[in-house]
């Protein structure tokens, strides 16, 4: 079946064929109980070594539809990169079934390469000593991109990523943010249907981050490119992704909209009120005062509750001068989730 | 069907190799002065190599019963063959560091055979220096040796250089495969490649029998020059080999390539399943 599909094949046709076979028409990325077990050898003596198995990815299943933009988050060593490496064909899964655009990545790595774009945040694929444009010319030839297509894609990337003045500059002279934009463009010249980004905003300043995010959003809405990104920067997720997957210890802890993460993590919003004078802590259950500093008080309340009711109540009963509502810090929410997981594990063992 | 696919894979590999090697040449050209200096330096260093042998012969008339032109013949063959392999695949020892710093992964997401990509890695024109020097010595040796040239002997010389280059290429590939398992093994690989070519510059008669047996049957670089050169020079073979053994180099080269290919496949397979 694999042989029958032609190399240059139309993506849509491929998808349809495979969809029909697999019975899931829209699933562009499919993982079914995918596992990755590493053999880790630890030195225990001069020549003695202890072998231990580590489950980097432990039976993960999910599907991503064409055109989705998904954030993949988790602490270091949670299995994020391992998952990305399996999706790109760099690593072979130890178990389970994995398909990207109907292709088994580890078996048909080079065929898949034409249909995916990969950006490794911390490793550039650009040619250090050569002008930026030379790296793009290499992509043009290596991926056999038709001339017109290449020109069109390059022009678009140059315009949106503001690379015009940088094309003739040797890559070694680019700033980190410029290089990242250059790398993203390099990954998109061959019209990939899915773009994987591993930490695309790491180390970038605020302006560069904004440019990268703006571009990715545009890419997703205009071209319908499926985007899967791993990040430590939760603002990336908040601003880009309608769907979040949280992974820890190789297991999928949460898969759903960003808002839902708050409920799962029992997150709280904070109402900050400035009163006319110092007063004892406000009594407005279920909200509770978490901090008092002179006339200013901080009230925490469940993120799922309406702020309006609470504000009305406080305003009616107390001499209110000013107030503001702070949204929950998603980082804290996730940290809480990890902590909960760790406790649960402790309880089991 | 598989034949066609394999053929196209070879074509793809060569194409990718050409593209990437071209990029490295252009990169080197951005530092023109440095490029000129390294090319000259390379010529000088490899040239000095043979001067060492000349100095030795200013003190002795023969080495293991071999006279200077004959030694020069061995030297020219070995260095030229190795030089070609070194030019083509000489940077495969960077594979270990590519794996350690993670940039090996970026090669795996490209639509081109990894072997071609890693083979062309750090392609350096300065390596022509060794080939130039080896060829000069070889030509001098061919003019100086006292040989009754037959058609077979004439044909054997280019065959030796090419087969030898292929054998060394296979050693480079096998070494690279080994580096995937043991990531810090660039020096082990160098011991076999640079070490191999150095030992072939001396006649087999100066080495112990078991050692010669080892480099004939185990690590068969004896077929780069020793065995066929003995035939050309009309000397006895280092071991009790049949006469046709002199014409075995292409066969040995083919077998080496096959084994190196298997080793590479195993190495890459283990990388992709362990993700070290």
3-state DSSP assignment of residue A311: helix
Nearest residue of chain B to residue A125 (CA atoms): B106
Per-residue confidence (pLDDT) for residue A31, from 0 to 100 = 95
Of A3 and B130, the one with more pLDDT = B130
Q: What is the total residue count of chain B?
A: 276
- State the Cα–Cα distance between residues B122 and B129, nearest whole angstrom: 16
A158-194: per-residue pLDDT in tens?
Answer: 999 999 999 999 999 999 989 999 999 999 999 999 9
> What's the total number of domains in chain A?
1
Question: Does B155 touch chain A if contact means CB atoms closer than 8 Å?
Answer: no
Task: Say if residue A13's pLDDT is above 60.
Answer: no
| B142 confidence band (pLDDT: 50, 70, 90) | very high
Q: Chain A: nearest CA to B80, how far in angstroms?
A: 31
Chain B residue numbers with beta carbons less than 8 Å from the beta carbon of A91 are: 272-273, 275
Task: Say if residue A23's pLDDT is above 60.
Answer: no
Q: In what order do the strands lie in the sheet with A27-43?
A: A49-65, A27-43, A95-100
Q: What is the mean pLDDT of residues B223-231?
A: 92
Q: State how far the alpha carbon of B124 is from the alpha carbons of A137, B21, B24, B203, in Å.
A: 21, 8, 7, 30
| A20 confidence band (pLDDT: 50, 70, 90) | very low
Residue whose structure tokens are 């999910």: A62
Residue whose structure tokens are 């949204």: A327
CATH number of the CATH domain containing A301: 3.30.70
Of B146 and B93, the one with more pLDDT = B146
Residue whose structure tokens are 């809405």: A221
Among residues 17-76 of chain A, which lie with CB inside 8 Å of chain B? 36, 38-39
Task: Say if residue B276's pLDDT is above 70.
Answer: no
Share of chain B above pLDDT 90, in %: 52
- State the Cα–Cα distance between residues A90 and A109, nearest whole angstrom: 8
Residue A304 lies in a domain: yes
What DSSP character marks residue B237?
P
Among residues 158-177 of chain A, which lie with CB inside 8 Å of chain B? 170
Q: What is the mean pLDDT of residues B174-190?
A: 81
Question: Residue B205 is part of which domain span?
Answer: 2-274
User: What's the mean pLDDT when you consider all of chain A?
Assistant: 83
Residue A138 lies in a domain: no
Task: Say if residue B3's pLDDT is above 60.
Answer: no
- Contact criterion met (CB < 8 Å) for A142 and B30: no
Chain A residue numbers with beta carbons less than 8 Å from the beta carbon of B16 are: 142
- State the Cα–Cα distance between residues A212 and A178, nearest whole angstrom: 10
Chain B residue numbers with beta carbons less than 8 Å from the beta carbon of A86 are: none
Note every long-range contact of B206-210, with CB atoms under 8 Å and residues 24 or more positions apart, other chains counting: B206/B63, B206/B64, B209/B239
Residue A283 lies in a domain: yes
Per-residue confidence (pLDDT) for residue A14, from 0 to 100 = 40
- State the Cα–Cα distance between residues A120 and A139, nearest whole angstrom: 16
Residue A212 lies in a domain: no
- Contact criterion met (CB < 8 Å) for B108 and A114: no
Q: List the single range of A226-240, A278-292, B99-113 with lowest mean pLDDT.
A: A278-292
ipTM, 2 dp: 0.87
Task: Say if residue A5's pLDDT is above 80.
Answer: no
Q: State how far the alpha carbon of B228 is from the alpha carbons of A91, A229, B238, B242, in Å.
A: 44, 59, 11, 12
- Contact criterion met (CB < 8 Å) for A111 and B111: yes
Q: Which two structure tokens, joined as six digits, stand for A342?
A: 């760790």
Question: Does B111 touch chain A if contact means CB atoms closer than 8 Å?
Answer: yes
Question: Count of CB atoms within 10 A of residue A202's CB?
Answer: 15
Measured between CB atoms, which of A38, A116, A127 is closest to B23?
A127
Question: Count of CB atoms within 10 A of residue A241's CB?
Answer: 23
- Contact criterion met (CB < 8 Å) for B111 and A94: no
Residue A286 lies in a domain: yes
Question: Does B62 touch chain A if contact means CB atoms closer than 8 Å?
Answer: no
> What's the total number of domains in chain B?
1
Residue A307 lies in a domain: yes
| A132 confidence band (pLDDT: 50, 70, 90) | very high
Task: Say if residue B193's pLDDT is above 70.
Answer: yes
Task: Say if residue A320's pLDDT is above 80.
Answer: yes
Per-residue confidence (pLDDT) for residue A287, from 0 to 100 = 80
Per-residue confidence (pLDDT) for residue A347, from 0 to 100 = 52
Cβ atoms of residues A179 and A131 within 8 Å:
no
Question: Residue A308 is part of which domain span?
Answer: 268-327
Residue A296 lies in a domain: yes
| A21 confidence band (pLDDT: 50, 70, 90) | very low
Q: Which two structure tokens, joined as six digits, stand for B253?
A: 């080269």
| B77 confidence band (pLDDT: 50, 70, 90) | very high
What DSSP character marks residue A170?
B
User: What's the mean pLDDT when you consider all of chain B?
Assistant: 88
Measured between CB atoms, which of B106, B111, B113 is closest to A120?
B106
A211-264: per-residue pLDDT in tens?
Answer: 899 999 999 999 999 999 998 787 888 889 989 998 888 899 889 988 777 676
Share of chain A above pLDDT 90, in %: 44
- Contact criterion met (CB < 8 Å) for A90 and B108: yes
């Amino acid at each position: 079946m694999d042989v029958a599909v032609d190399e240059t094949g139309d993506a849509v046709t491929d998808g349809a064929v495979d969809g029909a076979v697999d019975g899931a028409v829209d699933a562009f990325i499919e993982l079914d109980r995918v596992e990755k077990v590493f053999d880790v050898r630890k030195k225990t003596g001069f020549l003695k070594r202890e072998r231990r198995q580590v489950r980097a990815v432990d039976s993960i299943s999910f599907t991503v539809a064409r055109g989705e933009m998904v954030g993949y988050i988790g602490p270091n060593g949670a299995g994020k990169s391992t998952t990305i490496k399996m999706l790109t064909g760099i690593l072979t899964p130890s178990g389970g079934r994995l398909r990207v655009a109907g292709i088994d990545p580890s078996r048909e790595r080079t065929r898949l390469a034409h249909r995916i774009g990969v950006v490794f945040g911390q490793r550039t694929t650009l040619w250090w000593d050569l002008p930026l444009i030379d790296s793009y010319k290499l992509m043009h030839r290596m991926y056999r991109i038709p001339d017109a297509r290449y020109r069109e894609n390059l022009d678009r990337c140059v315009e949106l990523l503001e690379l015009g003045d940088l094309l003739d500059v040797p890559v070694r002279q680019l700033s980190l943010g410029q290089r990242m934009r250059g790398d993203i463009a390099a990954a998109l010249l061959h019209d990939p249907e899915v773009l994987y980004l591993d930490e695309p905003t790491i180390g970038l300043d605020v302006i560069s981050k904004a440019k990268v995010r703006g571009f990715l959003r545009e890419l997703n809405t205009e071209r319908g490119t499926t985007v899967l990104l791993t990040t430590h920067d939760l603002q990336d997720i908040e601003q880009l992704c309608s769907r979040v997957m949280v992974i820890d210890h190789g297991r999928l802890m949460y898969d759903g909209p960003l808002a839902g993460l708050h409920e799962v993590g029992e997150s709280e919003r904070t109402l900050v009120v400035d009163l006319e004078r110092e007063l004892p802590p406000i009594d407005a259950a279920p909200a509770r005062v978490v901090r008092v500093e002179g006339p200013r008080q901080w009230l925490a309340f469940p993120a799922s509750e309406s702020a309006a009711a609470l504000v009305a109540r406080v305003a009616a009963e107390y001499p209110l001068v000013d107030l503001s509502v702070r949204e929950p810090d998603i980082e804290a929410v996730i940290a809480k989730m990890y902590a909960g997981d760790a406790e649960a594990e402790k309880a089991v063992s | 069907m598989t034949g066609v696919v394999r053929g196209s894979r070879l074509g793809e590999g060569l194409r990718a190799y050409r593209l990437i090697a071209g990029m490295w040449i252009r990169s080197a050209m951005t530092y023109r002065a440095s490029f000129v200096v390294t090319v000259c330096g390379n010529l000088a260093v490899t040239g000095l190599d043979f001067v060492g042998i000349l100095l030795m012969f200013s003190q002795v008339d023969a080495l293991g019963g071999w006279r200077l032109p004959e030694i020069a013949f061995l030297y020219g063959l070995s260095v030229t063959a190795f030089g070609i392999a070194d030019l083509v695949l000489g940077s495969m020892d960077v594979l270990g560091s590519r794996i350690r710093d993670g940039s090996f992964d970026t090669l795996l997401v490209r639509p081109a055979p990894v072997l071609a990509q890693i083979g062309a890695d750090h392609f350096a024109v300065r390596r022509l220096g060794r080939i130039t020097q080896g060829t000069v010595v070889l030509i001098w040796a061919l003019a100086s040796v006292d040989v009754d040239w037959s058609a077979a002997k004439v044909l054997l010389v280019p065959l030796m250089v090419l087969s030898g280059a292929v054998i060394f290429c296979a050693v480079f590939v096998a070494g690279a495969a080994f580096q995937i398992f043991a990531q810090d093994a660039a020096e082990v690989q160098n011991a076999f490649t640079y070490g191999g070519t150095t030992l072939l510059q001396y006649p087999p008669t100066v080495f112990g029998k078991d050692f010669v047996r080892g480099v004939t049957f185990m690590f068969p670089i004896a077929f780069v020059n020793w065995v066929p050169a003995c035939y050309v020079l009309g000397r006895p073979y280092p071991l009790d080999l049949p006469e046709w053994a002199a014409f075995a180099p292409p066969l040995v080269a083919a077998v080496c390539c096959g084994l190196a290919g298997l080793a590479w496949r195993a190495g890459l397979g283990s990388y992709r399943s362990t993700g070290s």
